[in-house]
Amino acid sequence: MSFSDSLIVYFLLETVAVARAEMSPPFIDQLPWLQGLMFSSRDDIRNHAAHLYAIVVATAASIDKQCQTVQELTANIKTQVLVNLK
């Protein structure tokens, strides 16, 4: 990803953060894409994507989905491999 890709993720983060209730629900279906960005080789993209992912899950996901997400991320971090991208 290039420098501009980092800015795009940052602008997306800022937009969703400002209007959480309105902007988060459409991203529930994009959680696998966001999770993939969280494992980017670029530090800035990982950071922005992790914040965006947290906002979307905390705002728009059900409690069951939130628990499932935490379990999946914990497993991914322990194994350092992306799994369960649904």
Does residue 48 form part of some domain?
Answer: yes
The verdict on residue 84 lying in a domain is: no
Count the domains in the chain. Answer: 1
Residue type present at position 52: L
39 lies in some domain = yes
Catalogue the E-assigned strands of 1-86: none
Residue 84 has pLDDT above 70, yes or no: no
C-alpha dihedral sign at 42, 45, 51, 54: negative
- Average pLDDT for the chain: 86
Within-domain flag for 86: no
Residue 38 domain flag: yes
Quick check: is 45 in a domain? Answer: yes
Q: Could you tell me the residue range of the domain that residue 8 belongs to?
A: 3-79
Q: Is 55 inside any structural domain? A: yes
pLDDT tens-place string over residues 36-71: 898 888 899 999 999 999 999 999 878 998 898 888
* pLDDT confidence tier of residue 82, bands split at 50, 70 and 90: low
Q: How confident is the model at residue 4, as a pLDDT?
A: 75
**Three-state DSSP class for 2?**
coil
